[in-house]
Amino acid sequence: MGAENISFTDYETMWRNVYEGVVPDGRWKQECRETWELLQASGAPGRVVRKTDQASSLPATHPWYEDLVVYALYAQHFNENISGIISRLDYLAELGVNCLWLLPVLSSPMKDEGFDISDYRSIRKNLFQEGLDELKRREIFDEFIRKAAERGIAIIFDVAVNHVSSQHDWFQNALKAEDNPYRDYFIWSEDNRGYSQARIIFKGMLDSNWTYSPAADKYYFHRFYPHQPDLNYRNPRVLSEIIRVFSYWIQRGIRGFRLDAAPYLWKEEGTNCENLGKTHDIIKILRKSVELIQEDVLLLAEACQPPREVVSYFGDNDECQAAYHFPLMPRMYRSILQESAEPIVDVMKPGVTPAISRENQWFTFLRLHDELTLEMVSPEEREFLHGKLCKRPEWDFRNGEGISARLAELFDTPREVLFAHLLLLGMSGNPVIYYGDEVLEGNNVEFARYQQEHTGFVDSRNLVRGPLNWNRIDGRLADGSSDEAWHYRNMAAAIHCRLSHPQISNAAGEEREVINDSRGSAIGLKLIKEDGFELYYNLSQSRELSIELPASHRPILSWSGLRENDLESEVNPHDPEAGTVPSGDPKEASRIQLPPRGVLWVSV
């Protein structure tokens, strides 16, 4: 059912699925009616929002987000503030990304890098030059959205929907009195024994999901840090508040939202309080609500779960449109380290990764703002990957369940980093590039120490969250022979090639095959896309891979696997008329030799 033909009765039924029998009918019906009226006043789909005119080869019938290449950044660390991002939009457009995922930018005391939100309707003041009033800050942020759209770049950002900062007005008011209306925005108890089956997410740092508040003389519930109290979605007013937040930002021009900590919204005694049915009912309401304002707003589920469980967050195309594929990430590392295509092929088999519709997408990545998580692997795989990649003890996160290190630290050479990125860019879905990885940024030990002093917690994830040094980066990029310039240049060529062929991104149509070499080793990976596109990877560091290609196939991208060579692509991001023709024309031979760590993309 599209937003254009939903009735109030239909909308009310969705609320009834959550709240009937939980709170009195009059209470939730009033919130439902007021929220509906707000959404109706906000405007019809497509009317109130500046649409992003993306430069894309996608057919008009395909979802706008199908071919996104996403760049994830912390505004304060990427280039100091929002104006700093504006000044680097050309840099990002040249790289080829067409979506910026702003890691938390909403007001926050910054005890968890902004995931502790103190005001849902304002951008943090420190993301603007000092001394600017609220109106000027708003003008600058609107200018950022507009100028990004002019370059075909959509903006999405994080909204922590499960919890807020303990400094949020809601929580501060809740502490004032038991009869304060905001008290019911949170979860309270006389003791710390409730929801005992809910796991401790930050093992090794916390020993309880409850914290005592002297002001309230009660315990409050939190799945993350004590300064991040969980919201109480049993109170229908909380759901209405979050919908109003989305409405506000959609009208400002935001194209999508990452629903941080989505699996934890609903709590139920006797369960692990994760992925519960009413959590999905709430997300359905969020999806329908945003569609009443603009029909194609993207909702991204942040759920570190196996794919067969994560697909439930797509619903029947009525929940989130996209979700992360967490288990694919460690298997890409394992394939590279073990020089075998089998881990990637195995994790994408239907028994592990169910088929999804064209309206849904996987967000894929080599690393994000958090640790390189090893939750989604077997104990044997975890031991292998941790042993190979966690080169320093201070990189460890959650007692062996994660590794905090950037790609330039995880891999020994720029050649290995580029190969990993080419593997990511060849996979279906929406690849996410983490800020600085395109220029081989390393861990920031100084920033991690500062955060430890600021928060009182030793959190190794801060090693990968520090600021970029643009004086150094600009100097290295100006030197065309530097490792940074070489890697940035080749990543840009690969991204632009991918965007010129949207068939590569469709998660619904990809097949994967292992190619064995003459010794029977599974060193070759073949990705089969729509319309005859085929992508080949030689995972071996020492042996060539023999592959057969029909005479009708032509190369669109190739790389010899050597740092000394640039990849060759039919698309030149600097000059669309001057793309290089990849070497090794398969029209002249039915079999070619792909060199160690070589890559070849071909089309019919």
| Cα distance between residue 256 and residue 297, in whole Å | 5
The span from the CA of 352 to the CA of 403, in Å, is 24
Instruction: Give the pairing type, strands 545-548 and 591-594.
Output: antiparallel
Sign of CA dihedral 569, 573, 575, 576: positive
* φ/ψ (deg, to 5) at 177: -165, 150
State the pairing for strand pair 154-160/119-123. Answer: unpaired
* Residue 575 to residue 370: CA distance in whole angstroms: 36
Alpha helices in 52-116 (DSSP H): 75-79, 82-87, 89-95
Closest CA to 265 of 295, 294, 286: 286
Give the whole-angstrom CA distance, residue 527 versus residue 539: 13
CA distances from 312 to 2, 253, 355, 519 (A): 19, 28, 12, 41
How far is the CA of 99 from the CAs of 46, 71, 102, 113, 564, in angstroms? 19, 6, 9, 21, 31
- The residues that bridge with 300 in the sheet, in sequence order, are 258, 322
- Angle 180-183-187 from CA coordinates, rounded to 5°: 165
260 classed as catalytic: yes
Strand, coil or helix: 134: helix
Max Cα distance, the chain (Å): 81
Distance of CA 559 to the CA centre of its chain: 27
List the catalytic residue out of 80, 113, 116, 260. 260
Q: Which of 60, 29, 302 is nearest to 163 (CA)?
A: 302
Has 585 been annotated as catalytic?
Answer: no
**Alpha helices (H) in 56-167, listed in sequence order:** 75-79, 82-87, 89-95, 134-150
Q: Which two tokens stand for residue 139?
A: 């003008």
CA-closest candidate to residue 107, choices 137, 139, 72, 147: 137
- DSSP, residue by residue, 518-569: TTS---EEEEE-GGG-EEEEE--SS--EEEE--TT-EEEEEE-S-TTS--EE
| Annotated active-site residue in 296, 302, 441, 510 | 302
What amino acid positions are annotated as catalytic residues?
A: 260, 302
